[in-house]
A and B are shown apart, each in its own frame.
Chain A
Amino acid sequence: QQQVKQSPQSLIVQKGGISIINCAYENTAFDYFPWYQQFPGKGPALLIAIRPDVSEKKEGRFTISFNKSAKQFSLHIMDSQPGDSATYFCAATPLGGGTSYGKLTFGQGTILTVHP
């Protein structure tokens, strides 16, 4: 059962454009939503994360928008650059629950290509 659905599967954007990747989740216990960036041949690296008590979080050119009622969240990359070309994964996990660890559930991934 895929609890986090990510779209699109691939995305091509011109340099300077806006890249938008969407994720939807089912499990209402999820309350921490990170995005990971993965370059070819490398492991994923944490890019930005949000908790559901805010609707938006911005770090540089990267913004997460969160809609709790719709159970959806998205990553916006402003002024996209060729160096942003990578695979992006959304993920979700329960942050609370009394544990000191978290099992991430990942989306399927989006391959982003930014053309110069």
Chain B
Amino acid sequence: NAGVTQTPKFQVLKTGQSMTLQCAQDMNHNSMYWYRQDPGMGLRLIYYSASEGTTDKGEVPNGYNVSRLNKREFSLRLESAAPSQTSVYFCASEARPREQYFGPGTRLTVT
């Protein structure tokens, strides 16, 4: 089992460009999450999906969209990247109860 995988590992974008961060899990978990990690801020929830076909906003959703393509895959899209979106992005999936498994992260720099 690969657990939670994320692609790409690193990405540099120019302001205004768009991109999609991919996440997949092979643990048959229902719930999946996208977080961003910034120094001194901990991890902040961007969006989550409680089950296939449902998505909902977290603490910092502005500037992002998500798609729960199927039970395995949950993608995060930046439509028009801004320097404030420079961060490390983590995807997680959840086993019960509340035990979340994180992917290795995507380091995004927006210039």
- The judgment on whether A and B are partners is yes
- A contact residues vs B (CB 8 Å cutoff): 4, 6, 9, 32, 34, 36, 41-46, 49, 89, 93, 95, 99-109
Question: Do A43 and B50 touch (CB < 8 A)?
Answer: no
Question: Do B43 and A101 touch (CB < 8 A)?
Answer: no
Partner of A108, one of B33, B42, B94: B42
B4, closest chain A residue (CB) = A43
Question: Do A108 and B98 touch (CB < 8 A)?
Answer: no
> Given A43-B4, A109-B42, is A104 in contact with B100 using a C-beta cutoff of 8 Å?
yes
Question: Do B31 and A101 touch (CB < 8 A)?
Answer: yes
A39 → B minimal CB distance (Å): 11
Interface extent on B, as a size class? Answer: 20 to 34
Question: Do A100 and B96 touch (CB < 8 A)?
Answer: yes
Partner of B98, one of A4, A32, A43, A89: A32
Q: Is B72 on the interface with A (CB-CB < 8 A)?
A: no
Given contacts A4-B42, A44-B90, 4 further A-B contacts (CB under 8 A): A43-B105, A44-B43, A44-B102, A100-B96
What CA separation (Å) do A36 and B44 show in the bound complex? 14
B68 → A minimal CB distance (Å): 13
What CA separation (Å) do A62 and B9 show in the bound complex? 31
Question: Do A99 and B50 touch (CB < 8 A)?
Answer: yes
> Given A99-B50, A101-B48, A101-B50, is A106 in contact with B42 using a C-beta cutoff of 8 Å?
yes
Question: Do A6 and B42 touch (CB < 8 A)?
Answer: yes
